[in-house]
């Protein structure tokens, strides 16, 4: 053990060697630990990818979200049942008098836990040279410590290339997969007087997951759709999930060797969605990299300049790869190929993305779960212990706790709502999300103008044009033009359930892990979508 000396605090630490840096120390060593001088008041759990929970909470392990069939698409499956408080790449504890102690990795494939009164960090990949196994240690006020960490990550991984974020209209939270050419044209016509920079087409345009060509609902093709958007004076945006494959896709049928397998030769699960089992592409396979590059160039040739790539965690799942390299390094290699094929002039948004491995390669990153037109699902929060599912509270909670990433990437909190129909959100809840978007400086919505009253359309315009003065007051408090905004009520996690709720949750989680249940829910969801188009 050696001693790290901060202004008013000494920390005993184990490491190979160290150097000092602005705001703290850089330690080197595959394994490192910091002995806490006091009992931790709270622990900062930092989730693996966009939708994974990030939160300050009691210094104890969090329950594994249910249903477990969805774990690969919501959390890092490698640590799903880890017995101690832990997090991807970094961990922090709150000490007496409000200071924090942070241990943060400066490279990929790394993890931190709180155990036996120590913050302990390790690198998963034993092939990494010990000199490359770097850690930042900072102690002091939270904002200052996280900013020092972000600055170091920027030097090693890079920053967003675009100077500012765009104002975006997205099709997902209005029509979901029920989009088609006539409905989108109607929506675009209604948005003529709103100052959007991008009109983004989301899920529902493609033949299927893995088959990224226009389906029968878009008979004019994707180039024609992009041309229609650009004719309005906006940039054309498009959603894809290029690292996923489903059994109904041509890739699954024709290129089984492109998929990620485990050591036993079985396909690695990437979760379950669209009524099908999800699988992952192996981003170290040369043919996969060629296919990804060709796909991105085709999307650009269609005329799309704003690219949202989703479910990207699939590229970093544990598995046996064509080239035996660490999983996050494999993902970053694939993302580098994608970025190069898109070109520097494309605006690149990552979603469902492993956080650190995406930094420097994207312009924006979703930093929380999807929003929804509800505040919170009692089923998901109370019965399933799942804070990653769509809902406004879940989105606000994790997004607020990831704003330390703002020096590195445009932080996407997801869309805001102005509509009063097709939602159970209160005006106060909608305003809270709008305030968060102003703080993030990333503004997006999915409301068609046809769904809004005149007052709501005026409020949308004011939101898109206003640039308030934002000041950080405390962990969950900001001022916008001197108006105090407090996000604290969104931060609490569900209390431990009673025995009855725990039993009911186990049954619900088991049912939710059955593919037949998920297929039924998917079918029910699709049957309810067509009525949305009738409201345009």
Distance of alpha carbon 235 from alpha carbon 178, whole angstroms: 22
In 3D space, the residue among 470, 497, 500 whose CA is nearest the CA of residue 485 turns out to be 470
Whole-number Å distance between alpha carbons of 230 and 237: 10
Residue-wise burial string across 441-475, b where 16 or more C-beta atoms lie within 10 A, e elsewhere? ebbbbbbbbebbeeebbebbeebbeeebeeeeeeb
Residue 202 among the catalytic residues: no
Q: Break the chain down into helix, strand, coil percent, rounded to 5.
A: 35, 25, 40
Using CA atoms, how far residue 294 sits from 131, 289, 313, 337, 339, in Å, is 37, 9, 21, 10, 12
Contact assessment for residue 70 and residue 517, using Cβ atoms and an 8 Å cutoff: no
Tokens 């017995």 identify what position? Answer: 83
Q: What is the DSSP string of 78-115?
A: GGTT-SS-EEESEEEEE-GGG-EEEEEESSSSEEEEEE
Question: What are the angstrom distances between the C-alpha of 383 and each of 266, 365, 378?
Answer: 31, 29, 7
The CA distances from residue 146 to 101, 104, 218, 356, in Å, are 10, 9, 46, 14
Strand-pair partners of 92: 44, 102
- Region at 414 (left for phi over 0; alpha for psi -120 to 50; beta for the rest): left
Catalytic residue among 370, 412, 414, 435: 370
Place of tokens 């593919």: 515
**Among 296, 247, 7, which Cα is nearest to 138's?**
7
146: part of which helix (H) or strand (E)? helix 142-157
Question: Is 370 annotated as catalytic?
Answer: yes
Q: Considering 310, 414, 435, 447, which one is annotated as catalytic?
A: 310
DSSP assignments along 315-379, one per residue: GGSS-B-SS---HHHHHHHHHHHHHHHH-TTSEEEE-S-BHHHHTTT-SEEE-S----SSS--HI
Burial class from Cβ neighbours inside 10 Å (0-12, 13-18, 19+) for residue 266 reads: exposed
User: What tokens does 533 get?
Assistant: 């188009």
For strands 276-280 and 211-214, give the pairing: unpaired
The sheet that has 24-28: what strands, in order across it?
Answer: 17-21, 24-28, 134-140, 100-105, 90-94, 42-46, 54-57
Beta bridge partners of 245: 279
Q: Compute φ and ψ for 496, nearest 5 degrees.
A: -60, 130
The catalytic site residues sit at 310, 370
């Amino acid at each position: 053990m050696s001693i790290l000396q901060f202004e008013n605090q000494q920390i005993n630490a184990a490491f190979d060697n160290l150097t000092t840096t602005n705001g703290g120390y850089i330690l080197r060593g595959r394994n490192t630990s910091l002995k806490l001088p006091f009992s931790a008041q709270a622990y900062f759990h930092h989730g693996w990818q966009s939708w994974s929970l990030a939160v300050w909470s009691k210094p104890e392990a969090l329950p594994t979200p249910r249903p477990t069939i969805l774990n690969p698409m919501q959390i890092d499956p490698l640590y799903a049942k880890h017995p101690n408080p832990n997090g991807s790449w970094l961990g922090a504890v709150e000490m007496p008098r409000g200071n924090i102690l942070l241990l943060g990795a400066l490279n990929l494939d790394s993890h931190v836990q709180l155990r036996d009164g120590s913050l302990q960090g390790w690198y998963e990949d034993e092939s990494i040279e010990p000199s490359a196994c770097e850690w930042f240690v900072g102690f002091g006020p939270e904002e200052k410590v996280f900013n020092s960490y972000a600055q170091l990550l920027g030097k090693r991984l890079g920053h967003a290339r675009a100077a500012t974020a765009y104002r975006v209209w997205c099709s997902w939270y209005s029509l979901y997969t029920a989009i088609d050419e006539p409905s989108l044209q109607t929506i675009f016509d209604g948005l003529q007087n709103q100052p959007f920079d991008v009109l983004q087409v989301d899920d529902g345009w493609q033949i299927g997951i893995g088959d990224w060509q226009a389906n029968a609902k878009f008979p004019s093709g994707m180039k024609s759709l992009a041309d229609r958007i650009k004719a309005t004076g906006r940039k054309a945006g498009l959603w894809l999930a290029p690292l996923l494959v489903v059994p109904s896709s041509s890739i699954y049928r024709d290129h089984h060797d492109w998929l990620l397998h485990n050591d036993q030769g079985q396909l690695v699960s990437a979760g379950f969605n669209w009524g099908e089992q999800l699988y992952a592409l192996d981003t170290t396979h040369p043919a996969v990299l060629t296919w990804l590059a060709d796909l991105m160039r085709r999307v650009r040739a269609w005329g799309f300049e704003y690219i949202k790539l989703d479910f990207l965690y699939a590229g970093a799942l544990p598995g046996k790869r064509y080239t035996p390299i660490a999983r996050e390094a494999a993902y970053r290699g694939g993302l580098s190929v994608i970025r190069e094929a898109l070109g520097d002039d494309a605006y690149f948004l990552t979603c469902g993305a492993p956080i650190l491995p995406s930094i420097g390669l994207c312009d924006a990153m979703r930093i929380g779960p999807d929003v929804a037109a509800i505040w919170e699902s009692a089923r998901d929060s109370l019965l399933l212990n799942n804070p990653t599912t769509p809902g406004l509270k879940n989105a606000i909670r994790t997004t607020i706790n990831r704003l330390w990433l703002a020096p590195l990437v445009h932080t996407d909190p997801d869309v805001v709502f102005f509509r009063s129909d097709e939602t159970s959100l209160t005006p106060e809840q909608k305003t809270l999300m709008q305030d968060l978007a102003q703080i993030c400086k990333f503004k997006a919505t999915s409301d068609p103008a046809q769904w809004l009253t005149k007052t709501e359309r005026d409020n949308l315009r004011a939101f898109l044009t206003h640039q308030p003065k934002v000041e950080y007051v405390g962990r969950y408090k900001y001022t916008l033009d001197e108006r105090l905004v407090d996000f604290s009520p969104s931060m609490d996690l569900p209390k431990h359930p009673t025995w009855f709720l725990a039993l009911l949750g186990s049954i619900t989680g088991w049912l939710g892990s059955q593919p037949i249940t998920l297929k039924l829910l998917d079918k029910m969801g699709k049957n309810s979508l067509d009525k949305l188009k009738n409201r345009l």
